[in-house]
Chains A and B, each alone.
Chain A
Amino acid sequence: MKLRKTLLTAATLTALSFAAHAAEKGTIMIMVNSLDNPYYASEAKGASEKAQALGYKTTVLSHGEDVKKQNELIDTAIGKKVQGIILDNADSTASVAAIEKAKKAGIPVVLINREIPVDDVALEQITHNNFQAGSEVANVFVEKMAEKGKYAELTCNLADNNCVTRSKSFHQVIDQYPDMVSVAKQDAKGTLIDGKRIMDSILQAHPDVKGVICGNGPVALGAIAALKAANRSDVIVVGIDGSNDERDAVKAGTLQATVMLQAQAIAAQGVTDLDNYLQKGEKPAKQRVMFRGILITQDNADKVQDFNIKS
């Protein structure tokens, strides 16, 4: 055992201090999928910090991809008479009714990350360009694979539209190269542990696999854990998300590339537009807005922090 003296640094709550003097603007409810996933946590953080800076109080909640729970939380928001809701919804089609309910109760809803197929229900829908993100990372993948060889695809969660879009964009690019052969395609449920378990098996079934393209970050990191355990450093791995853990993997060279989704930026944009609507009655110019994903390689990995690019 080793004893170490360290200085205990006191936590400072600077964000609250300048929010205190702003006029009382009410509460904004921020609802995301889960707070244990760094992506959603950053989304919530981005929205919450922006809202507090603009003088709102915030409530951050998670629905865990459960449409029923999301519905109940929106009921609570209506009962509580919040000013507005920033929502990363639980399911694109099954969420429409709940959002409509909030709108009828006079509470504007801004959707982030996931879209719904109808217009004029949400105030605004801000999403990532998953197609562009998937295409960019697929391009790097093909380049690193030298346009040929056997590869596997680990999708993140095929029950999620964004994940399906990413998979489609991968194929849009990769299928142009006849020498790229897909030997396995599996859904890894978006988690580290399933990513590892499935990659273990794929490595056994197809020892000659040369690359893995992954639908999100945790799955890519799980695949890397499996490759590490099997002492395979020759396999190209790419992913999408851009968490700090992925950044470290890119820096270490185990992850060739990833695309950072601007989670904090879309959340902050959502809050700004919501604020404009609440204070000045201005509706956003467009109902659907898309943010680009930013390709992260070893050149710019240093700048990534909590789904934000430091300039």
Chain B
Amino acid sequence: MELLKKYPKLFQWIFLLVAFFTLCFAIDVPETYKFIRGQAEFIKDPNQSTYTLFGAEVRYYAFDVFWRLPPLLGWLPIWINDSLFFLMNDWMPIEFWNEDTQEFRTQPLVLKITRNLTSFITFLIELIREILLGGVETIVAFTSWDWISENSWAELPGLPWTIVAAGAAILGYKLSGKGLALFAAIVMVYISIFGQWKPSMQTLSFILVAAPLSFIFGLSLGIMAFKSKRVEKALYPILLVMQTMPQYAVLVPAIVLFGVGDHAGVIITMVVAVPPMILLTLLGLRGVSPEVIEAGRMSGCNNLQLMFRVLIPTARRDILIGVNQVIMVCFSMAVISAFIGAKGLGFNLLLALNQLNIGLALEAGLCISLIAILLDKLSLAWANKQTDYFGNLTFFQRYKNLLFFSGAILIGIIFAYFGSFYFKEGFNYLYEIPHNKGISTADFWNKGVDWIWDTFFQTLKIFNTWLIVDVLQPMRAAYLRMPIVATFVLVMGAGYIIGGIRSALTVGGLTLFIALSPWWDRALVTTYMATFGVILSCVIGFTVGTLCFQNKHTTNFMLGVCDIFQTFPSFVYLIPVMMLFGVTDTSVLIAVVVYATIPATRYTIEGLKSVPSSLHDAASMSGVTKIQRLLKIEFPLALPHMMLGLNQTIVFALFMVIIGAFIGTEDLGQYILKAISDKKGAGIGLTLGLCVAFIGLVFDHLIRTWVEKRKKHLGID
């Protein structure tokens, strides 16, 4: 009884688990139950029933409420789809003056808006792309195709790669110094020599449009949310869902609204990249001390000056993290957008992965990662740049970077010109090294993969089989064996213990949405893969983080490693695992583990770092050993921060599981991938995305509530 009083929560948890397992064992699997495989929806099972709502036929097994709920929300995807089409094609027709045909045309409002947005963004992409690579589209945009065919000379020539490389190096030098200049030059030369110039520049132009637009939108919405509580309240749920929504799922509605191509990719990238930017802007602005704001006011700032010269610069740290996130998401999406027809490295990467040409995929992946790191470093250096007011600069010193760049342009053009004489037949290597005409290491890597397969085939296979047969299959079966009542008891019970009745209802509501969708089984599979990944990631991440924290150098080293790994687009993680384990669940899970370990490690280190040093001293003076200090002082205090890491780990794991569908898994991701190629897939894709997002949100809600309570309890801000 005394124990019960001392640890009431512990007994609540035990009681919850007992109830959960009792339910699991008490409820039998109905005989008619069957896991629906990917192709099965085209064949009607005799045991299935149907119902029709809003003209949509929904098929389901007539399960009892204890085992599985019938898919009462099955009409939702179809309804979403129909509404979307209605919006696009029939709603609010408005007359427009058409320049080309010189007459009025009627077009639905939404269609008109999306078309205008499309052409605007396409123009931006093409402009940058043609500066880098050459082409006629930009000139066409100002004139017409007829004009171009009459004047065949009118074409943007595109910059020789030497100039772009020199420009990048000079920019790096101007912003930061020799180090960055050298890095920029190496990256550019590498790209060029390895024949990745054209796709790289295509990707770069994609990013140079997507990233600034996302930044501007995110920043302005963040400012608006900061200024008005109402905007914040309206944005908050959207932001929350978008944080856990897999990027795949947003692709599908985008196809309906914007078609396929680079522009659709850019718009989707913005949709994904803006929410974190908003959140971080808001966080940063909130963090500015009131005295700094007052100091700004007393200096006579008007509202604009206060925002742009006091608040935003002071909140720079968080806003920069936002920029970093935007760049990360942009690169990630640059690859994923290849699914809807974006050109560039992502497309090559997907193609290579599809052909199982690991070497090519590796090269493309490396290029993306290098450009990502370069842009990340450049943006950081730009934000930290200082002005020198006191140097009495000569004309040359003041404009030396500009002069150097002009020189580089001149030399580049001369080189390219002479190159055209030297490389008579075929390609001018000083102008642009064509795709696959550069040095390629693909063969080397492919041979390496072959060698690994030849040498370690048995070992890998044994490991693979063991993992699948002895670990994954039983785990999956256990998850699928879970009756729905038991799941609800577990989830809502956890919610109740952690955050009271409100939390219980919140997580219950989120789970109910998934339970009433037609994909409950799939959601369970997704959850099982994510759970497996999260558990392993946390074990690895917490261990590595704790070990590294024992030494200052390893701490900084590890944080640096996390930084670099975080910059890699998520798809890149699939390359090495496919190299080793081929197309299996194991590959996906290992990619999940690797990807999700990053936040786990980072937050462990940061959490331990956040323990005040005075407590260290106090602990040392009480005569604790290193281990005792770790267990009694550091872990309990760092735990809230580490739990936020767990939160991120879950989100990362879910994303990777969904992306893993590309390799072939039987979870929600598989359906999302299918929806991309489905003409009527928009509704399905969006609903599936919501399902994944809600899985994430359930955990997110539980963890956040716990962290807040714990922080209050510990008195940490």
Query: A and B from one assembly?
Result: no
Which residues of B are interface residues toward A (Cβ below 8 A)? none
